[in-house]
Structures are given as C-alpha cells and as structure tokens.
Structure 1
Amino acid sequence: MRVRAPRVKHFFDDGEYYCLLNRDFVVLGGTHDEGEWDTTVNDDTSNRILEENKRRIPEIMGAEIISHHVGLRPFRSSLRIEKETIRDNNGKETTIIHNYGHGGSGVTLFWGSALYVTELLENLRSHL
C-alpha cells in the first residue's frame, strides 16, 4: 500500500515486512504467498501490513492511506541475469538477455540488475 508519511526518513525490511521511501509517499508491504495468483486487494492482509509496519516504525502512525496495490512477484531460488544465444532452424542467431526472478526484492535490486544488463549489452555491442 502507499501511504503519505512524511516523518518516515528511512527504509526498512526485516524479511517479513518492509517500508520503502519514494518521493511523495512510502510503500508498505509484507506478504509471501507462494502459489497465490489473486490480484484482488484483501482487507485483512492490508490491515496486517499496516499494523505490523506501524509496530516496527512508529512514524507511520496517522499516515494517510493513498492507495492499495497487489502485485505478483515471481521468485526463483537465484536470480537469472545472463546472456543466451539461440539459433533458429535457418542458423540465424539471436541473443537474449535474461533478467528475472527477483521476487519481492525487485524494487531494491533493479538498479544493480539494470547496470549488469547494460554491461552485458555493451559487451555484446563491442563484439558486433
């Protein structure tokens, strides 16, 4: 969920719940529902996320709730960030850059992943 909480000045993530700063709001979360594909907002889950984050970060008390969101974050036991070259039946090669499996950590890992993908692309371009 997104809340307006200007008193919050730090990120928080204890592996169960998290608070991520943004320019105009704070993102609160904390679910790990393996095999769950429903993207409907669940009021009980929203209330639990809010209350547990308040308990961990008192500055969230009184925060204005801006919006609720449900996202699916596919997870792998390890990230897949690599270059793969495939060949079609005519012998034409195509290079694919894989970049997935971040799970709920994508919002914190994407900068490093994007930089690494950029490096892979630059190396590929230098060999053309």
Structure 2
Amino acid sequence: MSETQAGTGGAAGDVVVLGGGVIGLTTAVILAERGMHVRVWSAQPPGETTSAVAGGLIWPYRIEPEKQALDWAVRSFRHFSWLAEQPPTTGVRLVRGRMPGSTPPPEWTALTGSPPRAPLVDMPSYLRYLAGRFESAGGRWEQRTARSLSEAAAAAPTVVNCAGLGARELVPDPAVRAVRGQLVVVENPGIEEWYVAVNDSATETTYILPQPYGVVLGGTAEDGAEQREPDPATAAAIVRRCAAVHPELATATVLEHRVGLRPFRPSVRLEAQRVPDGRGGTSLCVHNYGHGGAGVTVSWGCAVDAARLVGPP
C-alpha cells in the first residue's frame, strides 16, 4: 500500500484516538505501550469527561451484548485486581460488598467469591493514573474535537474512535443514545463495604460506594434524558433509598451532586473499517464505543480487542 493510500497525515505507526474518557485513555495506553505514536484528541481533560462521574464499581451494568460484555469484564477484572496491588496512586482497591437479589453468572462469581470482593475505582485518581501512564509511554494528549472521522484520518493512518456519546454525531450513529445518571456524594459516616440493589423500576438503582473522598450514593438510569443539571427531588430520593440501608446516611453532609450521560448503544461497536482521509486515500478506523454504564468495567478487555484490530506497530 502506498503512503497516499494509507493516509498522508503521519507515519505507519501513528494513531489518533478520539475521546479522552476511560475507554479512549485505556486504549491509548495499550497502543502507546506497544510502541506506537499515539495522540488523544479530546474536548475535555480526562477529569471532566463522563468517566470522572462514574461510581467506579467493577461490575457489568447496562451493556450489550451480554455474553461478550461478560468476557470483556472478566478480563478487565483481572487487570483491575492487579492494579489494586500496585501503589495507591492507581485509585483501585479491592472492597467487599453485597448485591441482594442478584445472581451473577458463574464466571463472575468465580472472580468475586462469596461474599463478593470486587475492584472499586476512585475515578478522578484513576484517570490521573491512566493519563500519567499514557504520557510515560510517549503518548500525547491534545484538547481538540474532531468534526469528522475524515479529519482525524487526515492526521494519521490509524484512527480509534472512542468518542462515547459523541459518536452519535461524529460517525454519525443514531443508535447511540444517552442514559442519564445522577448521584450524590456525602461524607462517610463509617461505611466500609459497597452495596448495590437493582430496584423494580428500570430507572432506579440503589448503590452505596465508599470512596476515599466520601460515599457515592446512587442512582438513576433515565433513558434518552440529557439534562446535565442535578435534580433536587431526584437527589433527595437517592439519599432516602440509601438511608433505608444505612440510616446514618440520612444526616450525612452532602459534598457534591454529579450527573453523567452514559453512552448507550443496543450493542457495543467494536470493529474496523476504512474511512476517507480527505486526500483520495483511506485510513483504518477502529470503533470502540457504546459501552453504556459499564465503560470502566469492560475498559481493558475492549481496549485489548481494539488494539488487535489496529494491528502491530
């Protein structure tokens, strides 16, 4: 293949990753550590992406296809367990908890044990860790928004699309839609274990996740809603549900309200295609988006599979 056919915007080992959330950063880390020259284009710094809002419990949630997602999650679980044994700057801990009324698949139970012990990720710290690991591998982050896949293809012979909700307009892909999540962070009154219960309502869950900065209380799953401002009535309902489990949470000082828009798709898109580079040639584009509420949980498994589609440096 000639240089023009491959894309004239860079050398053969150059990659542009679109999206600086957990999916984009994890994929960028793997590619950079394989010796590729990787740039991440993102409109926001990692700490301002949707990933920074996530509660951080490694557990499959609102992602399809279920069987494939479980494989990604199992592989990611093993890497997060390894990270939990590294210095605390990774932001990952192994924490015990309970999930009443839920029967995980046997592959997951084999990992978590009974009672469950799963990785719990302090997302702000973890995103800083990923960004540092990426930069240490020679990667470069750029505050930049691609207006099209062709714009990115003009800059590098390989593009990895990890744009999350942004893929709806970027690709464009009308199958991507927002699932709004709201949570409340309160001072920790002494809770050490996580708790998750799926309510009868598809729009609500009850979860209590102790983090170093407080306890994350949740949550909601409002399909198609895109309001980014916290709703006071929703916040009050979240606290009431969580206080029914731990009464001391009813009077805990509220530290923060958070809202995130999960990038849901009926099925995660993880595949490769050729896209025009704007110069009469094409570049390889690997899509890795649509992970719903399980982006953190499946991030390493998906990133490895995306890197395989990219190929060797």
TM-score range, shorter chain: 0.7 to 0.9
Q: Which has the higher contact order (CA 8 A, sep 6+)?
A: 2
Distance 1:62 1:85 in 2: 53
Give the aligned partner of residue 275 of structure 2: 87
Distance 2:267 2:245 in 1: 28
Shift of 1:123: 6.0
> Does the CA-based 8 Å contact 1:99-1:113 persist in structure 2?
no
Unpaired segments of 5 or more residues in structure 1?
none
Q: Secondary structure at the match of 1:97?
A: strand
State which drifts further: 54-63 or 35-44: 54-63
1:9 aligns with 2:192: yes
State which drifts further: 22-31 or 117-126: 117-126
Give the aligned partner of residue 231 of structure 2: 42
Structure having the higher helix fraction is 2
Give the aligned partner of residue 97 of structure 1: 287
1:23 aligns with 2:212: yes
CA RMSD of aligned residues (A): 2.4
Shift of 1:57: 3.0
Shift of 1:97: 3.3
Give the aligned partner of residue 307 of structure 2: 121
> Does the CA-based 8 Å contact 2:288-2:302 persist in structure 1?
no
> Does the CA-based 8 Å contact 1:8-1:60 persist in structure 2?
no
1:33 aligns with 2:222: yes
Alpha-carbon spacing, 1:112–1:33, altered in 2? closer, same or farther (3 Å)? closer
* Residues matched between the structures, number: 122
**CA displacement, residues 66-116 of structure 1 (integer Å, 9 cap, x when unaligned):** 011222223233333x1312232723222223132323x44xxx1432343
Q: Percent identity?
A: 25
Distance 2:224 2:275 in 1: 34
> Does the CA-based 8 Å contact 1:2-1:68 persist in structure 2?
yes
What letter matches 2:288 in structure 1? H
Give TM-score, length-normalised by structure 2.
0.35
Off by >4 Å, runs of 4+ in structure 1: none
> Does the CA-based 8 Å contact 1:39-1:70 persist in structure 2?
yes
Unpaired segments of 5 or more residues in structure 2?
1-183, 199-204
What letter matches 1:100 in structure 2? G
Q: Secondary structure at the match of 2:260?
A: coil
Give the aligned partner of residue 257 of structure 2: 68
> Does the CA-based 8 Å contact 1:18-1:53 persist in structure 2?
yes
Distance 2:267 2:310 in 1: 24
Distance 1:2 1:18 in 2: 12
Shift of 1:23: 1.6
Which of 220, 230, 243 is the aligned partner of 1:54? 243
Alpha-carbon spacing, 1:77–1:12, altered in 2? closer, same or farther (3 Å)? farther
Give the aligned partner of residue 157 of structure 2: none
Give the aligned partner of residue 77 of structure 1: 266
Q: Secondary structure at the match of 1:94?
A: strand
Alpha-carbon spacing, 1:122–1:22, altered in 2? closer, same or farther (3 Å)? farther
